[in-house]
Structure formats: C-alpha cells, structure tokens
Amino acid sequence: MGLFDSLRRKSGGKRKGKPGTLRTANKQDTAHLEEWAATRQGVEAYLEPKTNVTDTTVVLIAHDGEWTRRRVPSEDAAKDFARKRGMPVYEVNRVGYPKRMREYTERMKRQQKD
C-alpha cells in the first residue's frame, strides 16, 4: 500500500481535476456572488488578478466589512458582473483592500476565540 492510497480510498478514488490544474469559475460561483450581493448593503467588488496558483477572483465586500471571494471567468466578466449590479469595481493591485474588511476579519477571529 502506498502512502496516499488511504486518502484515495476515503475520497472514493475520484479526483475533481488533474493535480496542478486550476479550477475555473462555474455556475455555483456566479450564483453565490449574485445571492451574496443581493442580501448585503453597500457592496463593492475588488478584482484579484490570475496568478500561477489561483484563477481570476473577485472579492465582494459589504458596508460592514463582511466579504466573500469566488472565481470568475475573466477580469471583464467580473467588471460586467459589478456594473450590471451598480457596484463599483476596484483592482486590488492598485487600491488594496479596504480597512473595514481587515477589521471585520479581526472581529470574526476574536469571536471564534471566545
């Protein structure tokens, strides 16, 4: 028995994709973004460029700093998504993340400790 055989058996031997292959955006990603944006106020979109490890993603950030991240098919698709919903879109490499996002993440970490 090989080192990783037990792991393969637990997952039924099925892989979601080839190792080293980026997962692309799918309908579930888009549906999540749509639902999330529709149920939050003051949502802004922050575009994250494709890297060697991760495909293009968009981070949606609400007025209180709550956020979510999902893959998108392309930068243009992310911009179209934001514009159709009347939300501003920013490029993370140019403007960074807003302070409220970092503060929200810190609040969540503190709450988990308590």
Tell me how far CA of residue 57 lies from CA of 3, 15, 114, in angstroms. Answer: 34, 23, 32
Strands 57-61 and 67-71 come out as: antiparallel
**pLDDT for 54:** 85
Q: pTM for this structure? A: 0.79
The Cα 26–Cα 31 span in angstroms is 9
Query: pLDDT, tens digit, for every residue of 61-98?
Result: 999 999 999 999 999 999 999 999 999 999 999 999 99
Which amino acid, residue 102? R
**Spans of all domains in the chain:** 22-113
The first and second tokens of residue 54, run together, are: 């991760």
The first and second tokens of residue 25, run together, are: 């955006």
Residue position matching structure tokens 């949502």? 43
Nearest to 64 by CA among 109, 105, 29, 111: 105
Residue 11 banded pLDDT, cuts 50, 70, 90: very low
